[in-house]
Amino acid sequence: MIKLDKVTKLYKYKGFKHYVFKDLDLVLPTKRNIGLLGPNGAGKSTLLRLISGGETPNSGSIITDENMSFPIGMGQALLAVLSARENVKFVCRIYGKKDKEMEYIVNYVKDFAEIGDYFDQPLKTYSSGMRSRISFGLSMAFDFERYLVDETLSVGDQTFKNKAASVFKEKRAKSSTILASHSMSILKQNCEMGLFVNQGKVILFEKIDDAIDAYMKEVVNQPLRK
């Protein structure tokens, strides 16, 4: 279970305060796959980072008993001047992996990403698709109870999308996910519940279709075609 209790999150810039969430109360059930949807800038990525523990709320608290992944995004949490190999090793060291485990994870990510010699080149030479491959492969190499995925499934070429979907399906057999995406088909394929984020409001729907419907009505301004 993930419980957000009166969570307020804001960003300050040159004296201006931009509130993302104000006194947000939310309970997300265990072992349910939740689709996160909302327009750009609504706070989907911020919510994922708050839940992951990588970012702290300005006030309120987030309580969870689940082993949460780091947010799986476009590779922003990777260092551009280091190679993919070094970045993977860095994350392995943070998670206390020993030499053999580290070697296994490095090989797993290398095989998953299929970027050839680029694996040993600095990340600054990568395209965004290549970064996503590394970021996604890296997170899939670790076992978490809950995966927090930010858009990654909908980027890259078709081969990568298929591969990512297949690995992700395997992982979901043992764990659950919170998946942020603008692709309604990906959300429908992977999630049962829906979390709609818009203008500081966060509404949890028991069925993903209802969340998509709310999104279509409020954001896209057209009803869901079932």
Residues that bind other proteins (CB under 8 A): 9, 11-12, 45-46, 48-49, 52-58, 70-71, 73-74, 76-79, 81-82, 86, 89-91, 93-96, 150
Q: Sheet of 59-64: strands edge to edge?
A: 16-28, 2-13, 59-64
Q: How far is the C-alpha of 168 from the C-alpha of 203, rounded, in Å? A: 25
Residue that is written with structure tokens 């750009």 in the block? 40
CB closer to other proteins, 46 vs 181: 46
**C-beta of 77: minimal distance to other proteins in Å?**
4
Question: What is the amino acid identity at position 74?
Answer: M
* Cβ-count burial 101-132 (b if 16+ within 10 Å, e if not): ebeebbebbbebbebeebbeeebeebeeebbb
CB 48 within 8 A of CB 208: no
CB closer to other proteins, 90 vs 104: 90
CB closer to other proteins, 179 vs 208: 179
Identify the H or E element spanning 111. helix 99-113
CB closer to other proteins, 52 vs 177: 52
Instruction: Label residue 45 exposed, middle or buried (CB < 10 Å: 0-12, 13-18, 19+).
Output: buried
**C-beta of 135: minimal distance to other proteins in Å?**
10
**C-beta of 106: minimal distance to other proteins in Å?**
14
**C-beta of 12: minimal distance to other proteins in Å?**
6
**C-beta of 34: minimal distance to other proteins in Å?**
18
Identify the H or E element spanning 64. strand 59-64
Residue 11 CB contacts under 8 Å (≥ 6 apart), including other chains = 17, 18, 20
**C-beta of 1: minimal distance to other proteins in Å?**
18
CB closer to other proteins, 11 vs 217: 11
CB closer to other proteins, 58 vs 189: 58
